Every structure is written in structure tokens, then in C-alpha cells.
Structure 1
């Protein structure tokens, strides 16, 4: 029989993906799910992600895919975007069917590779509430009760999705909640349906509580990703997330334009041992050769400025493209993932801060 549990004994740390892992943000160019899945599993094998292929149209984009996961809430497409509807129709069924095809392709690609970890993506509750309309034409965001219902429905649907991905792949699942609209939600800068005003700002406590409930309810590691200019890093650091995703090439975080407050917030995240998913690889072909050393420089500079040994980047950073790759050419989509993987290798064995090769 097992002995008594020592209540003073510290809990085991939560499971974490391998050091040096790289991944994609979510979307890829093209419309072939098998090709996309094979590319992802081949190029970022330590943390492959379920690809999104928005070029297929309705139901394949971030909002449509996430809305298709909702339980007891259906959506349809209207001229202004996605809108809540009384019962599932063609648009809702299309989103569900596309996801099923994607899961089949991802399972097939993972079968020979058997990755230990995989990542799935979904729109976070605030971006979803900002991007979907009620029957009235107003954003879900304008109705407290509707926001709550959407968040609860997303928790149930996303939990089912995670369980299915885990069963199909045999891997541990990392969830990425995409919240690109979150800064606008907090600032109250989203236009109303009429276009003559803006939707009221949502308070930080309300935003945090909703995200915290979702993160804790999923029961698996969750990264919240916000590639906007100034993501609310401190807010996201206090919801129990396993990581925070940013575009590390944004002016607030890199080069001479880096803001002390933004850097301090990232330092606090790393001090707490929370990894950052760092967008470093251009989402579009820059039209010139790029090297991993060049792409890694913002990460090295960030570690140096914050006083972290570069050797910790393998554990504290997951390199990714700066955003989704839906707008890239197929060749650059593959190349961007290759570069992200190579950045993960560089983080495992970074150059010394005084290295001559690093200065050139």
C-alpha cells in the first residue's frame, strides 16, 4: 500500500514539451490537409501543430474552426461575418467537416513519427466574442451573458477536441488560445455594428477571470498567444497559463525602440519560469536570404537585456514564425517552419555573448 502523502512535499512540476522545441503559429498556405500535416510533422517534429488552412474558405479560418467546436451554439455566415443562428446549418456543418478531415490527416502524419507532444489552436474567448455577431448584429462582446455562454461552450467543446487529438496521436496536447483582438477589447476600440461608436471596454479583472477559468478548466497546458503590437503580458501572466506567445520582432520588444515597461513584463514572466512563444521568423518571404543567427538575434538581445543566460532560451522560449503562414507561398511556408526548428537547435547551443560570430 502507498504510504501517507506528505502535504508539505512540493507538487511535481507540470509536464512540459522538450527543450529546444519549435512550432508554428497555426495557419499554412494551400488547401491540402495531408500535405500540410506532413509538412508540420516533418519540419517541427518536437511540437507539431494541427495545421489550419484558411484558403479553403468558410469554416477553415480561426473563427470558423473555433465556432465549429462550440457546444449548443451554432453559427452561420452573413455578409458581415459569422453570426449566431438558431440551429446548425450548412456553414456550421462545413466547419465541423473540415476539422474532421484535418484530424484524419494529422493522425495519419503523426502515426509513423509518434510525437510526444502536439499543439492545437483555437480562438480565445475574447477574440471569439469580438468576432462573432448576435442575432441583433451586435458583437457577442456587447452582452455579458452571451460572453459567459460562449466561454462555457468553448471550454466543453475544446476539452472534447483535446481529448480526441490526444487519443488519435497518443501525444500530450498543448493548447494555444489565440487572442489577437484582446488589446482592442481592453481598450474599447472595436467599432459597433453601426460604425458610429465603439464597444465598451472590458475590465482587466473580467478578462482575467474568463481566461483563468478556461485555462484551469481545460486541464492541459495552455499558451495564450497575442501577436498584436502591445499584448497585455502582465495580465496574461496571471491566469495560470503555461506560456505566453508574442511577436518578438514588434518594436516594443526589439531593437532601439524596445520599451522598458514591455521588457520588464517579459522579464517577470521569465523570472516566474514561464516560457515565451517567440515569433521570430517572418510570416512572408522577405525576398532575401536569412540566417538562423540573424533571426535569433532578437531572442539573444532579449535574454541579454533581461540578464538571463542564453543557455536558458531552450527552456524559456519556443521559436515560431511571427504570425500565421496563410499568406505565404508554399515554399516559404515550409522554409519558415524549417527556420523555426533550426532556431530551436540554436537555443540548445547558443553562441557566447562575446562571440565574434554573434557580433557580425
Structure 2
């Protein structure tokens, strides 16, 4: 069994100094699969949505009191988001000189964007079939350029792109509130949800990087994500419903990567040790009927992003994930 460790993406911190430290930790504590950190504590331009809008091609956006909204041209906050991403990539290029191996980047997926970004005339993009198609396709096109830029900056990297879809279960269940908060947007049925994901996953593959999908909800739609073209999935074992375990077993048997969130993402009252976490993963594999030595490409992660953790626990959580991965490799 190949087992490595990585972070989900977000890290604590509010300035450039904190970002440099987060990047150093990502490269140093998870050396087999380091990741490009995100620091949402720097404000909306560095949030999951702002970061993805910095990648989106051709569409403009601006920050309104109710959140991000599509516009005819990039507003000051959209330009700030793009500037922050460029600065972060400059720092990655500097710190990763001579790096070889796998490297992970993250971006919000098309349905999470559609559920969090407004149309020019108000209400979520989710409310408009044409707008959500345009946004998904613009994200796909932007990702082609983004992966190419990463490849140029870190030529020795074997890139992996994690597409974050925390809002997807609510989109599928008709649980996303309208702007007024009095109603809910209509359910998006699986075939349509799959199509937008297919555009994004295909763009990542065509750019030369395997896409994996992250959803830390209890009802993460594992089969839908894999069926749309994701080559791996990332889930939070603390909340994942048992009904999704069969899909995880099938994914591992088919050679897909499975990222298991098993380390607390915020400061725990009693921090677990690596032996306890290792044993937990082994119990899950046994429940799935999988032999640890033949279970496929397994990745150990914190349960979700570490933005809400203290700096000391963020460092410790990554180190713990790495120790658990090493334990599992020899189990």
C-alpha cells in the first residue's frame, strides 16, 4: 500500500510572513505530497471563493456587502485576489527550487462557486442555468492556465489538483438558501451536477494533472464525483456516513486515491497520538474488507482545512498525519 500525508489546503495566518511559514510547513512536514497553502485569514480575496475567482478565466468579479458578485470587469478585490495568488506562486517558486515529486494545489469547484457567487443582477449563480454553465466553463479554462503556470514555476513537480466541493451536497439536496433567506434554490439533479464537474476535471487532466475531489460533508457524493472523472476523493471520516464506505472501498480497489481526514482540524482537548490514529485507519480498512498491503493509494490528512487551528496545532496536525502515513506504510 502506498500511503502519504498532506494537508487539505487552508492554514492559519493573516499576512505574508504567515504565508511563508505555512508554505515552509507544507513542504517540510508533508514532503511526499506537499500542498500550496491557502490563508483565508488574509480576507475575502484569499478565501476559498476569492482564490477560485482568481483562477477563473475571462469573467470579472467584485466584492459586495453580500459577498462576491460577477461583474463586467474585475473589481479592486478581484484584482487583489489575483495579486495575492501571484505572490503566493512567486514564493512557491522560490521555496521549491529543485523540488521533485508530487505537489498538490486546491481550487473551489463549480458548484461551490455557483452556490457562493452572485449574478450581476443579484441572487446566486446557482439560480441561472446559463450563468452556472458559463462559470463552470470559465473555471475549467482558467485551470488549464493555472496548471501550466504551476508546471512552469516548479518544473520538477508531478502536479495534483484538488477540487473542493463543500457545497455540493446542499446543491444536490436543494438546501442552498436564496439571497432573501426565505427560500431554497431548486435541486440540481445528478446528471447536470456531473456535467459541470466533468468540464472541470477534464480540463485538469488535459493540463496534465490528475484531479481529486474534496468534500468534507457527511453525505459526500463519492460515486458522483468519481463518475464525473475525479481520480480520487478526499473525505472527513469523523462525519462521513457509513453508507459511503462501500464507495470508498470501490475507489481503492479501482486504484483511485482516497484521502482520509483522520486528524483533528482544530485544537483538540486531548491530542491523539499516532498509534491511536493509525489503529483507527486500520479498523476502517478492515471494515471495508481491504488488506492494508494492497489497499491502493491512500493519503492521510487532517479532517478538513486548518484555518481554524492555532499555529502550533496546525504544525502538529501535519506532522501527526505524516507519522500516521509512515506507520501505515509498514503495517
Counterpart in the other structure of 1:353: none
1:166, distance to aligned residue in structure 2 (A): 1.3
Structure 1: how far apart are the matches of 2:305 and 2:228?
Answer: 24
2:264 matched residue in structure 1:
282
Q: How does 1:1-360 map to 2 (within 5 A)?
A: 19-30=2-13, 31=15, 32-112=18-98, 114-170=99-155, 171-219=157-205, 220-250=209-239, 252=241, 259=242, 261-313=243-295, 315-350=296-331
Give the unaligned 5+ runs of structure 1: 1-17, 253-258, 351-360
| Aligned match of 1:8 | none
- Superposition deviation, residue 288 in structure 1: 2.2
TM-score, structure 2 normalization: 0.94
For 2:222 and 2:103, locate their aligned partners in 1 and report how far apart those are by CA, in whole Å. 24
Distance change (3 Å), C-alpha of 1:293 and 1:139: same
Greater RCO structure (CA 8 Å; 6+ sep) = 2
CA deviation after TM superposition for structure 1 residue 58, in Å: 2.2
- Report the Cα distance in structure 1 between the residues aligned to 2:300 and 2:184, rounded to whole angstroms: 35
Across the aligned residues of Structure 1 and Structure 2, the Cα RMSD in angstroms comes to 1.4
SS state at 2:97 partner:
helix
Which aligned segments of 4 or more residues in structure 1 are displaced greater than 6 angstroms? none
Helix, strand or coil at the partner of 2:219: coil
Deviation at 1:34, TM superposition (A): 1.4
Q: Aligned partners of 1:136 and 1:297: how far apart in 2? A: 52
Equivalent residues, number = 324
Rg comparison, structure with higher value:
1
Q: Note if contact 2:219-2:240 (Cα within 8 Å) is conserved in structure 1.
A: no
